[in-house]
Amino acid sequence: MSTRKRGIEGESQASRFLRNHGLTIVQHNYRVPCGEIDIICREHDTWIFVEVKRRKNSEFASILEQITTRQCQRIRRAAQYFLVEQQVNEYLAKVRFDIITINDSQVTIEWYKDAF
């Protein structure tokens, strides 16, 4: 299976996981010139921007260690674009940045709320 196909499958798994936990999926793969957000969802009045990381195993490094500060900054900027498009005041909105990790070798999904 190609890396991109595995990524798409991982994002689908993460979406199902989030739906099962009561969140409403708003959009997948939101892209703007400054970055991309894998999943955008809502939980009551909170906008949640989710980065999904899927790996075959964590032998090289933990999945969380592979998320860089620069990547977090790009996600935050993309979230600002999204909120402006939705005409949401980014200073008044409740916003959270979560990470979903999927480890195929251990068959686990972990949800890190308010990760960055």
Q: Which of 33, 34, 32, 36 is nearest to 7 (CA)?
A: 36
What digits encode the pLDDT tens for the residues 46-65? Answer: 999 999 998 876 555 566 77
pLDDT for the residue 61: 55
Q: What is the DSSP string of 26-58?
A: EEEEEEETTEEEEEEEEETTEEEEEEEEEES-S
What digits encode the pLDDT tens for the residues 4-44? Answer: 787 789 899 999 999 999 999 999 999 999 999 999 999 99
pLDDT for the residue 7: 78
pLDDT above 90 for 1: no
Domains of the chain: 3-112 (3.40.1350.10)
Which residues in 96-113 are b (16+ Cβ under 10 Å) and which e?
bbbbbbbbeeeeebeebe
pLDDT for the residue 41: 98
Share of the chain above pLDDT 90, in %: 67
Distance, CA of 50 to CA of 105 (rounded, Å): 22
What digits encode the pLDDT tens for the residues 83-111? Answer: 999 999 878 899 999 999 998 876 789 99
